[in-house]
A and B are shown apart, each in its own frame.
Chain A
Amino acid sequence: MPNMIVCVKQIADPEAPAGSFRVDESANQVVPAAGVSQVVSPFDEQAVEAALRIKDAHGGKITAISLGKSFVMDVIKKPLSMGSDELILLQDPAFEGADSRSTAYALAMAIKKVGEYDVIFCGRQAADWDAGQVGSGIAEFLGIPSVTVAKKVEFLDGKVKVERVTSDGYEVIEVSTPALITISNELGEPRYPKLKGIMAAAKKEVPTWTAQDIGADASQLGTAGARIKLLKVFQPVKEGKCEIIEGESPEEAAANLALKLREAKLI
């Protein structure tokens, strides 16, 4: 029976209207308004679903791991309520200011501490910054193969068969375990938690691991371990301009429009 790990991230609801977010240019941060709720990143919920489908078919154990600054427990416990067996939270000031690389490093160290694993699942990208690098980064730190943007994952003995989304369809890849798979939305809707699952999840004790607990090298964590420097966060100024193209007849107006578009090198 496979041991599976799913990395999940708590984020501000990505479906909140853009106007709910404010850019703090001095701190280089995007600040959600007070009323914006926290959710599990939707791609990560689909990663949990991918693991649950394998558990439905083969049994096994699912451990969800989340790294964050502050957790809303009734949100971050959703993977448990959906059917995961364990949840581990990574929380330490040392993790703060991380980029994709230092996040991947911390998660990889936590996964090493968990021990045995056959498949690690991540969402294709977190729905806040959409970087899409943490999954592959974890695989790199662990020295295992990874397959990205999967829409279907089958667990076979000693390997995993993955349908990977491409621009014009999908390709089928087999990869030996242990492996890391990132899951795309084409996998389908994640299941709803059941009330019994919610009640069990609410009672479940969730351990919190610090940098020391996972034996991490402080120089690889958070800001210290980041290799990307965010230079500027800003809100682009949108300009709307409307020009009415005239013409004696619809045909002439269309011809004038075509000329304009060609002048603007748009056609």
Chain B
Amino acid sequence: MKFEGVDYYNVDELLSDEEKMTKDMVRDFLEKEIEPLVVGAFHQEEPLNMRELAPRMGELGIIGAVIPKEYGAAGANYVTFGLICQELERVDSSLRSFVGVESGLVMYPIWKFGSEEQKNKWLPLLAKGEAIGCFGLTEPNRGSDVASMETVAKKDGNKWVINGTKQWISEASVADIAVVWARTDDGVRGFLVERGTEGFSQTFQNHKGSMRAGDVGELGFSDCVILSDNILPKTEGLRSTFMCLNQARYGIACGAIGAAMDCYETALNYAKEREQFGSPIASYQLVQDKLVTMLIEITKGQLLAYRLGRLMDEGKARHQQISMAKKNNVSVARMCARTARELLGANGVSLDYSPMRHMANIESVYTYQGTDHIHTLILGYDITGIPAFAQTQ
């Protein structure tokens, strides 16, 4: 049956035919082709085989959807990209992470800051899913405090020598190309490091309690030498980095609502069928209160994501607005996953139902791409004019 999804405020009516058709296509594809693989991958912590799945996603045009057609992508709008993320995360966060990273953190910086040669070489391959990229920013000792990153790139004639470690990197072990951020004498710059480059290591990280269906790992740079052509020439300090993060954070804001929708639907269906004390548990006021709370928060989150998408399309979105949507919608997903797990009772801890998996995944999403605290401080700074990111000396 065609999945309609929760849409209490008729948000779908605000969408164009193109946007609705894309949402339906992605839903249909994921439900038939990928959803059946997710639980096993999560349970075994064997990441979904993106070498196989990425070309199929690429063929449909859902990788890097907003990148212009001239580079082999679809040239769609941000609302469409947001709906793609929503549908991906409705199935599993690792899928949205994959497309979010490829689109916002790999293709976007190459498109915005790359040379024409870099764009022509990498963007069509990435859009088709024939190449996979990753984004190296976070480090073992530097998370939110990215400005003091330890990875350095030293100029040596017509080469750059990179040293450092990047951790918690989505698609780290499978990537063909890494967009790596490193400190230089001219501030932070972005570099392209290809798989197999001497001194460049890519490792998969297991023993995670979250994002177990996805590839997460570490990038190591030990006197890693790349040609000077591999710098992203138009990167200008952390401003460029944050421009990439804004893309991915928008994807998260939309994706998280997808996870919340799935949790709500699972809980609602369960509550209508599960009987205790002679009645479906949905007939009890305490249960209805929880369901209604989830529905209201999801609806607000959907409207936030939708409006943010339109602002992105108009080029008017401020990064603080993106922070608000990321912070709010991930918190909504976190609450909905926990509430749904609770309503499912003991069955809620089983991987036969999705809320526990979503709950585990959302813990990563709550922290990555700007922690919840950081987004609060971004908004606090915006409305007061007083930065509160660091202790004053």
Chain A residues within CB distance 8 Å of chain B: 13, 15-17, 35, 37, 39, 73-74, 77-78, 81, 189, 192-196, 198-199, 201-203
Which residues on B sit within 8 Å (CB–CB) of A35? 4
Which residues on A sit within 8 Å (CB–CB) of B61? 194-196
| Chain B 34-66 interface mask (CB, 8 Å, partner A; 1/0) | 000000000000000000000000011110010
B264 CB, min distance to chain A CBs, angstroms: 15
B21 touches A202 (CB 8 A): yes
Question: Could you tell me the distance between the alpha carbons of A196 and B1 in the complex, rounded to whole angstroms?
Answer: 25
The answer, among B2, B20, B60, B75, for a CB contact under 8 Å with A194, is B60
Which residues on B sit within 8 Å (CB–CB) of A37? 2, 4
Question: Could you tell me the distance between the alpha carbons of A27 and B20 in the complex, rounded to whole angstroms?
Answer: 33
Question: Could you tell me the distance between the alpha carbons of A202 and B15 in the complex, rounded to whole angstroms?
Answer: 12
Which residues on B sit within 8 Å (CB–CB) of A74? 17, 20-21, 24
Whether A195 touches B28, Cβ cut-off 8 Å, given contacts A74-B17, A78-B21, is no
Whether A15 touches B18, Cβ cut-off 8 Å, given contacts A74-B24, A195-B61, A195-B74, is no
B29 touches A192 (CB 8 A): yes
Closest 6 CB pairs of A and B: A195-B61, A202-B18, A15-B1, A74-B20, A195-B74, A74-B17
Nearest opposing residue in chain A for B15, CB measure:
A74
Nearest opposing residue in chain A for B20, CB measure:
A74
Question: Could you tell me the distance between the alpha carbons of A74 and B28 in the complex, rounded to whole angstroms?
Answer: 14
Chain B residues within CB distance 8 Å of chain A: 1-2, 4, 16-18, 20-22, 24-25, 28-29, 32, 59-62, 65, 69, 74-76, 80
B83 CB, min distance to chain A CBs, angstroms: 11
Which residues on B sit within 8 Å (CB–CB) of A189? 32
A67 CB, min distance to chain B CBs, angstroms: 20
Which residues on B sit within 8 Å (CB–CB) of A81? 21, 25
Q: Tally the A-B contacts, defined by beta carbons under 8 Å.
A: 59
Question: Could you tell me the distance between the alpha carbons of A195 and B61 in the complex, rounded to whole angstroms?
Answer: 5
A197 CB, min distance to chain B CBs, angstroms: 8
Question: Could you tell me the distance between the alpha carbons of A17 and B272 in the complex, rounded to whole angstroms?
Answer: 15
Question: Could you tell me the distance between the alpha carbons of A199 and B2 in the complex, rounded to whole angstroms?
Answer: 21
A253 CB, min distance to chain B CBs, angstroms: 32
Nearest opposing residue in chain B for A20, CB measure:
B1
Among B21, B59, B75, chain A packs the most CB atoms within 10 A around the CB of B21
Question: Could you tell me the distance between the alpha carbons of A13 and B4 in the complex, rounded to whole angstroms?
Answer: 11
B227 CB, min distance to chain A CBs, angstroms: 34
The answer, among A13, A17, A39, A198, for a CB contact under 8 Å with B21, is A198
A73 touches B29 (CB 8 A): no
The answer, among A39, A193, A195, for a CB contact under 8 Å with B76, is A195
Question: Could you tell me the distance between the alpha carbons of A74 and B24 in the complex, rounded to whole angstroms?
Answer: 9
Question: Could you tell me the distance between the alpha carbons of A189 and B69 in the complex, rounded to whole angstroms?
Answer: 28
B21 touches A196 (CB 8 A): no
Which residues on A sit within 8 Å (CB–CB) of B1? 13, 15-17
Among A13, A35, A194, chain B packs the most CB atoms within 10 A around the CB of A194
A39 touches B2 (CB 8 A): yes
The answer, among A193, A196, A202, for a CB contact under 8 Å with B16, is A202
Question: Could you tell me the distance between the alpha carbons of A15 and B32 in the complex, rounded to whole angstroms?
Answer: 15
B28 touches A192 (CB 8 A): yes
A198 touches B22 (CB 8 A): yes
Question: Could you tell me the distance between the alpha carbons of A100 and B75 in the complex, rounded to whole angstroms?
Answer: 43
A-B contact sample (12 more), CB < 8 A, given A16-B1, A37-B2, A195-B74: A189-B32, A193-B25, A195-B60, A195-B76, A195-B80, A196-B74, A198-B21, A198-B22, A198-B25, A201-B17, A202-B16, A202-B17
A204 CB, min distance to chain B CBs, angstroms: 10
B4 CB, min distance to chain A CBs, angstroms: 6
Which residues on B sit within 8 Å (CB–CB) of A39? 2
B18 touches A194 (CB 8 A): no
A77 CB, min distance to chain B CBs, angstroms: 7
A192 touches B4 (CB 8 A): no
Nearest opposing residue in chain B for A193, CB measure:
B25
Which residues on A sit within 8 Å (CB–CB) of B2? 13, 15, 37, 39
